[in-house]
Amino acid sequence: MKGGLLLASYVVLVSHAALGCPEICTCQSSSRMVDCSHRGLLEIPSHLPLQTQVLHLQGNHIRAINHTSFKNVANLRILDLSNNSISRVPPYAFHSLRSLQVLNLTNNLIHYLEVQVFTPLWALRELDLSYNSINALPESLGNNSRNLTFLGIRNNQLQNVDRMLLETFSNLKVWLVRSNPWQCSCPALSLKLWLENFLYKGGTIDEVICRGPENRKGRDLMKIPYEMFKSCTPLTAPPIMANIHHHSPDYKSNGRHVHHMDHADGSHPECEPKPKPRPASLRHAIATVVITGVVCGIVCLMMLAAAIYGCAYAAMMAKYHRELKEVERLAPGAEHGSAEEKEPLDGSLA
């Protein structure tokens, strides 16, 4: 009996060692999942099964990721590193994970992302970076965003996102951006235009609540009218108003705008006040006033002459009608008088 138990224990240990499953974790060969969550780990286990496709490392005290942490799990598809103490992700931390589809880095201490950190993740579909201290998204995120459908960046320190990066998210369906210190000044106009096009195509967002400037603080960027950006010059025409083009020297014949490069001093020409119209000269202003006065005077004189003529004509017609009535009144009396004068003459003849 004891020999059987020892043999069974030996078989389990041998199979466990063959799979390479860390003792502190739980491994499921059928689903190729390794669960190392909430184990109090300070670092990522170095020996993981080669066949692992799902790896749960959430709820530990992991502080760092190095470039060899996942070199033995090239087939990994889902990686959960949420709720740890990771403050930095090195450039090539995920360089071997070309099949990774879901990456969860929420609720860590990340404040900066290296440029090459997401470069090899061509298959990535869902990326959640929420609840960190990230102040900028790396440009390399646009290099592999072809399949990205979900992006979470809530509760970070983002003030704006470059529209050139957003345009690479061709298949993005859900973008969660709430609780960032968004600055809704002129550069945010490009973000507003992209968001409107994104929603028009059926995308989903939560809220872009402005932290500044003061006159827009607490307002949803999507609900701020365009009149408040009237002093800003957008770099590109709104996608939903594609029939309106802002022609400029940088406008090419293929219908696409060339994005301006940043200034050498680091400033961004995304928001420049429109030039004020040059005021007219004093001479032209005086001439305009004089001509207007002369024209108005002539019109007034013509109206006065027409009024006088009308009054005179009305008076003449009234006099004419009075005389005509007087003549008509006297005419019957004259006729009766002549008849009476003829009677005596007729009688004498009789």
Q: State whether residue 261 is helix, strand or coil.
A: coil
Rounded distance between C-alpha atoms, residue 53 and residue 27, angstroms: 11
With a cut of 60, say whether residue 344 has pLDDT above it. Answer: no
Rounded distance between C-alpha atoms, residue 181 and residue 208, angstroms: 9
pLDDT for the residue 139: 80
With a cut of 50, say whether residue 268 has pLDDT above it. Answer: no
Domain 20-180 has CATH 3.80.10.10: yes
Beta-strand (E) ranges in the chain? 26-28, 33-35, 54-56, 78-80, 102-104, 126-128, 150-152, 174-176, 182-183, 204-205, 210-212
With a cut of 60, say whether residue 153 has pLDDT above it. Answer: yes
Pairing of strands 26-28, 33-35: antiparallel
DSSP string across 91-129? TTTTTT-TT--EEE--SS----B-TTTTTT-TT--EEE-
Share the mean pLDDT of the chain: 78
With a cut of 50, say whether residue 142 has pLDDT above it. Answer: yes
pLDDT for the residue 180: 94
Rounded distance between C-alpha atoms, residue 216 and residue 133, angstroms: 23
Side chain identity at 30, as an amino acid letter? S
With a cut of 50, say whether residue 269 has pLDDT above it. Answer: no
Rounded distance between C-alpha atoms, residue 307 and residue 202, angstroms: 68
Rounded distance between C-alpha atoms, residue 151 and residue 86, angstroms: 19
pLDDT for the residue 329: 77
Range with the lowest mean pLDDT among 105-119, 177-191, 224-238? 224-238
Bridge partner list, 113: 89
Residues 278-311 pLDDT 10s: 555 566 778 888 899 888 889 989 999 888 988 8
pLDDT for the residue 228: 83
Domain positions in the chain are 20-180
pTM (whole model) above 0.85: no
With a cut of 80, say whether residue 277 has pLDDT above it. Answer: no
Residues 160-171 pLDDT 10s: 998 888 888 889
With a cut of 90, say whether residue 266 has pLDDT above it. Answer: no
With a cut of 80, say whether residue 331 has pLDDT above it. Answer: no
